[in-house]
Amino acid sequence: MSADDIGRLSRNLSRRPHLVGTPNQARAIETALARLRPYGLDARTQSYDVWLSRPKSIQVSMTKPYLRSATVKEKPMPWSEDFQDVVVGYNAYSPPGDVTAPVVYANYGLPEDYAALDDLGVSVEGKIVLVRYGRSFRGVKVHLADQHGARGVIIYSDPEDDGFVREPVYPEGPWRPADSIQRGSIQFIWDYPGDPLTPGAPSVPGTKRLDPSQATPIAKIPSTPISYGDAEPLLRSLTGPEAPEDFQGGLGFPYHVGPGDTDARLNLDIAYETQRVSNVIAEIRGTTKPDEKVIIGAHLDARTYGANDNVSGYTAVSEIGRSLGQLLRRGWRPERTIALAGWDGEEYGLLGSTE
């Protein structure tokens, strides 16, 4: 294995944003294939057409007690290449919607947090719920808010969990700066992952597709993520009961749960469309048990640049390919088939691997 080669591949794959279905991701897939083939591996792509969402316009604002719009994208660093291709902060598989309602802060949005709100006599019914990242998958946060009657969800990263309270923020350190937005999927993957229109079957021509209205992993209420820089004025202006001890975060003032005179508007223009996902697959056929497969995979798509998530994982898979290629040249053959995989569309809900 060569750390230098892993480093070069990492730099290559994370130089530009490479969201599934974009020209930059097509380029990343080509880079991955071109890397595996000289190892003597039979690398190819395996494609599926899947149903996913694209943000057209994301607007989040506080409308009371004063008007203030949240930013939906970070400021670029001097070294950020193709920053115009970085997608705005949004939740993959959020429905579109335009909702204005009073805000209630619900901590991490866990069942016990709603119980604590109940004890305070605060209901989220008809409200926009403001929750912080952590302790549960963001799709669960949206699902629980919906079950409690909320009309929309705003998710933010609190500096206590991921920000200046921890240690220096990027680029001085690894923690999240004030304008950074955690993007992600809210697909209800515990229901089923993958293309929401083809549960239990690969999304290939001939597979029967559900009508989107029947796709149970897609949330019914709109939601979006914001930075703690933009959550701060919302939290600061919230009135209502003071939040319990474990609801308190790192912004340096006492959090209240609301509701009160703080309203927010979520105006999300999100289009749904069919996009192609292309997995990178390299198989080494087994000698005695070719139908038994050992799969070594990592996803190859990213929300933005993806150096950590998940280029760091994919480069390890690719480097294993180099080692296996060297063994093949010495005449070694595995008993079982070994498949190396670079999955596409993971960030939306494990799309490529599930299909």
Q: How many residues bind Zn ion (CB under 5 A)?
A: 2
Strand partners, 284: 338
CA 62 to chain centre: 24
Residue 216 or 308 having the CB closest to Zn ion: 308
Task: Quote the least distance from Cβ 74 to Zn ion, whole Å.
Answer: 18
Nearest to 96 by CA among 68, 59, 132: 59
Task: Quote the least distance from Cβ 149 to Zn ion, whole Å.
Answer: 31
Residues in contact with Zn ion, shown as a per-residue x/- string from 252 to 291 under the rule CB under 5 A: ----------------------------------------
Task: Quote the least distance from Cβ 193 to Zn ion, whole Å.
Answer: 13
Nearest to 224 by CA among 189, 261, 268: 268
> What span, in angstroms and rounded, lies between the C-alpha atoms of 183 and 226?
9
Residue 197 or 311 having the CB closest to Zn ion: 311
**Position of minimal CB gap to Zn ion:** 309
Amino acid at 101: A
Task: Quote the least distance from Cβ 302 to Zn ion, whole Å.
Answer: 7
Determine if 353 is a binding residue for Zn ion (CB under 5 A): no
> Under rule CB under 5 A, which residues in 301-330 are in contact with Zn ion?
309-310
Residue 262 or 310 having the CB closest to Zn ion: 310
Determine if 10 is a binding residue for Zn ion (CB under 5 A): no
- Peptide bond between residue 259 and the one before it cis (omega within 30 degrees of 0): yes
Task: Quote the least distance from Cβ 311 to Zn ion, whole Å.
Answer: 10
Residue 148 or 299 having the CB closest to Zn ion: 299
Contacts for 104 with CB less than 8 Å, ≥ 6 apart: 117, 122, 123, 124, 127, 128, 129, 130, 150, 240, 257, 258, 259
Task: Quote the least distance from Cβ 99 to Zn ion, whole Å.
Answer: 29
How many other C-beta atoms lie within 10 A of the C-beta of residue 83?
Answer: 16
What does the angle CA 186 – CA 191 – CA 196 come to, to the nearest 5 degrees?
Answer: 65
DSSP secondary structure string for all residues of 126-194: TSEEEEESSSS-HHHHHHHHHHTT-SEEEEE--HHHHSTTTSPBTTTSSBPPTT----EE---TTT--S
Determine if 81 is a binding residue for Zn ion (CB under 5 A): no
Task: Quote the least distance from Cβ 94 to Zn ion, whole Å.
Answer: 18
Q: What does DSSP say about strands 97-105 and 336-343: parallel, antiparallel, or unpaired?
A: unpaired
Residue 179 or 309 having the CB closest to Zn ion: 309
Residue 39 or 348 having the CB closest to Zn ion: 348
Residue 242 or 309 having the CB closest to Zn ion: 309
| Residue ranges binding Zn ion (CB under 5 A) | 309-310
